[in-house]
Amino acid sequence: MSFPLLTATAALPAIGAIATAAVPAARRTAAKWLALLFSLGTLVLAAVVFLRFEPGGDRYQLTESRAWIADFGVRYELGVDGIGVALLGLTALLIPFVIVAAWHDADPLETKSTRWRPTQGFFALILMVEAMVILSFVATDVFLFYILFEAMLIPMYFLIGGFGDRAHAGTDESAATQRSYAAVKFLLYNLAGGLIMLAAVIGLYVVAGSFSLSEIAEARANGSLEMATSTERWLFLGFFFAFAVKAPLWPLHTWLPNAMGEATAPVAVLITAIVDKVGTFAMLRFCLGLFPEASKWATPVVITLALISIVYGALLAVGQRDIKRLIAYASISHFGFIILGIFAMTSQGQSGATLYMVNHGISTAALLLVAGFLITRRGSRLIADYGGVQKVAPVLAGTFLIGGLATLSLPGLAPFVSEFLVLVGTFSAYPVAGIIATSGIVLAALYVLVLYQRTMTGPVQESVRSMPDLRARELAVAVPLIAVLIFLGVFPKPLTEVVNPAVEHTMSDVQKKDPQPEVEAAK
């Protein structure tokens, strides 16, 4: 049997989580370094997966299959396609930066007690989230995916509620109350979506007799699987509802601003740049792959909701007074673009949506982590508490600006390529939707530039006059992320070569072809 590379890639951070949690209370610095080393080891394995993946080969590669719960037809089945390998790489890339950025986030919770080890617990939870997300991107058994989809909520709940942001305008008691509220709201929304999905998963097994994506696809191809139109639509809605909550899509988005606002900046990156991508990824793999006719039936409604998310998220971002909540609403707008590209049902739109997942993850991580460094210095998330920062901390201001320009999809930075493809793919199939979506670009320029103007330019406020610039550890986080944004902005080929064949498979699943341009015949 060949080496189980996908299992090893997911197992390494899980082992790291256990090892980090077991570090003695007095050795919290060792726990941080141990977590970082395991995350770097995972990145190496992810790079091996990326290099071994053959874009022109089989749809699912590096496959593994073992019996798990045989009586119920559940198998431990793994396989990676071009979309999964891109998102696996994103996850493995971002986690080391998250750990370095969060180096001191658990320090305020340290006490003299030897029983309570917040530092060890904090970094162990981050690694556990990484393990579950990676495994969800490679799971090809629907039930296995569902278990991971739900299980990742547990460590995220504790990261938000137990290790939340201490930069709060209210009292310690009110801050703790808001962190608890945000964590519970996150959990309840996602659990509700998951419970509805569970009913759909059971229904799928009743209809198809299997949880395996490959077996279901084979049965559909040879005509042995017949699914009634109404049944397929109900099952689609069950899956889509859960993924729309995770994504998050309007009007199921309201948990995200609370969760990102109350979490520390690195944990907010975990939420929006990594965990939420599971929702949009699953729309491509499960909604379109398992229920192609229902996906086409639901397309007009989903596109409408995506457009509302784009405009609504951008408008609310313009009016925000809290830095992290502004970025949260901007992310809602960006997820609208991703879902729009998926359901435009064109190769450009779906390639752009997949690239958008990766590029949004990197750009949001860059902006959020630098914003976190800024908030830590001042002790406030309110935009009004800043001003003139670029005069006292020019490197911090410069990296913040580049992260913001990437968020508004400036040409030359990675998100521009993906947003352009989404809009091209949408215009070719749904011109009116493409025109409406374009308004999100204008609003993005407004909320990003206004944020920069209010925090970084103008007279230097007394409270930021002694603010230090980025230190070596913080530069080690910001500079590589910016370098990746520039590299993928001018040379996206390494990603497009991997993603495009997977998109062709998805287009084949839904039996859609790109619209042909209408050209008048020469007279």
Query: Does residue 434 fall inside a structural domain?
Result: yes
Query: Does residue 229 fall inside a structural domain?
Result: yes
Find the helix or strand (DSSP H, E) in which 304 lies.
helix 292-318
Task: Give the pLDDT confidence score for residue 99 in this predicted structure.
Answer: 96
Domains in the chain, number: 1
List strand residue ranges (DSSP E) for 220-303, in order: none
Query: Does residue 516 fall inside a structural domain?
Result: no
The length of the chain, given as a count of residues? 523
Query: Does residue 385 fall inside a structural domain?
Result: yes
Q: What is the per-residue DSSP string for 177-243?
A: HHHHHHHHHHHHHHHHHHHHHHHHHHHHHHHHS--BHHHHHHHHHTT-----HHHHHHHHHHHHHHH
The model's pLDDT over 121-149, given as tens digits with 9 standing for 90+, comes to 899 999 999 999 999 999 999 999 999 99
* Three-state secondary-structure class, residue 141: strand
Task: Give the pLDDT confidence score for residue 1 in this predicted structure.
Answer: 47
pLDDT along the chain (523 residues), means of 10: 86 95 87 95 95 87 87 87 93 96 81 66 94 94 92 92 67 72 90 92 88 83 80 93 92 90 91 93 91 92 95 92 92 94 91 93 94 89 88 92 92 92 91 92 92 90 86 94 94 91 85 68 53
Structural domain range at position 472: 5-509
The token pair that represents 409 in the structure block: 């999809």
328 contact partners, CB below 8 Å, separation of at least 6: 256, 257, 259, 260, 261, 268, 272
Query: Does residue 517 fall inside a structural domain?
Result: no
Task: Give the pLDDT confidence score for residue 11 in this predicted structure.
Answer: 95
Query: Does residue 514 fall inside a structural domain?
Result: no
